[in-house]
Amino acid sequence: MYKTVVLSRGQVVIPPEIRKRLNIKEGDILSADIEGGNRLVFKLTRRDRAKKGVVAQTAGLLSDMEIDGLEYIKGIRKGSGRRLDRFENC
């Protein structure tokens, strides 16, 4: 049996062992109910865990570069040998 403390705003931390065993992730929904007068029961409902799209997977990828993103893209375009004018105003 695991113990946890109810915080001042009514929040409860689910012990990591339980989260791991039940594969509870951020965004999952726990429905609470009372059984037998003093038993608190949670039911887990999983959120849709569809794979992230390419934009979400790569967001922030270039954030630690020493040049800004536009300068980086301009450098790639110059070296490509192709005309990419239609992307200039993106």
Total count of domains within the chain: 1
Residue pair 23/14 in contact (Cβ under 8 Å)? The answer is no
Residue pair 52/59 in contact (Cβ under 8 Å)? The answer is no
Q: What's the domain range around 4? A: 1-48
More confident residue, 59 or 75: 75
**Residue 25, in any domain of the structure:** yes
**Residue 27, in any domain of the structure:** yes
pTM of the model as a whole: 0.48
**Residue 2, in any domain of the structure:** yes
Asked if pLDDT for residue 90 goes beyond 90, the answer is no
Could you report the per-residue pLDDT of 5-35, keeping only the tens digit for each?
999 999 999 999 999 999 898 888 999 999 9
Distances (CA, A) of 29 to 43, 70, 74: 8, 40, 45
**Residue 82, in any domain of the structure:** no
**Residue 14, in any domain of the structure:** yes
DSSP assignment of 22-33: HT--TT-EEEEE
Could you report the per-residue pLDDT of 42-71, keeping only the tens digit for each?
999 887 666 667 777 676 766 676 777 778
Q: Which amino acid is present at 28?
A: D
Q: What is the CATH number of the domain that holds 15?
A: 2.10.260.10
**Residue 15, in any domain of the structure:** yes
**Residue 65, in any domain of the structure:** no
Work out the pLDDT band at 85, boundaries 50, 70, 90.
Answer: low
